[in-house]
Amino acid sequence: QSALTQPASVSGSPGQSITISCTGTSSDVGGYNYVSWYQQHPGKAPKLMIYVVSNRPSGVSNRFSGSKSGNTASLTISGLQAEDEADYYCSSYTSSSTVVFGGGTKLTVL
């Protein structure tokens, strides 16, 4: 199972919005609404930000939103803040009943 494709890095200024893409195939992202997004700060465990494409766990800011079109899922962060600077990973359920992650995207807040 190949990793989902994410851009290696994105950047934005405080207050701006950014979008991170996550591209898979019809056997994972395109075939199921089981896409999640995680935020990971250096030296810390990942934090669940989005589940089943567009749902936020309790306690996650509504500045974070998710969507999906075809084989590509997206995470949008609006009103960018300094504390959003982190690595972001997408994941998806697959037709093999496994889970596959994306390679990760480093978000830099300028």
Give CA angle at 22 (17, 24), nearest 5°.
160
3-state helix, strand, coil in the chain (%, to 5): 5, 50, 50
SS3 assignment, position 92 = strand
Q: Considering the rule CB under 8 A, would residue 66 count as an interface residue with other proteins?
A: no
Q: Considering the rule CB under 8 A, would residue 7 count as an interface residue with other proteins?
A: no
Q: How near is the Cβ of 16 to other proteins at its closest, in Å?
A: 25
Q: How far is CA 66 from the centre of its chain?
A: 8
Specify the DSSP element, H or E, that contains 11. Answer: strand 9-12
Q: Considering the rule CB under 8 A, would residue 58 count as an interface residue with other proteins?
A: yes
Q: Considering the rule CB under 8 A, would residue 36 count as an interface residue with other proteins?
A: yes
Which of 12, 19, 48, 54 forms a contact with other proteins (CB under 8 A)? Answer: 48
x/- map, 75-94, other proteins, by CB under 8 A: --------------x-xxx-
Q: Considering the rule CB under 8 A, would residue 64 count as an interface residue with other proteins?
A: no
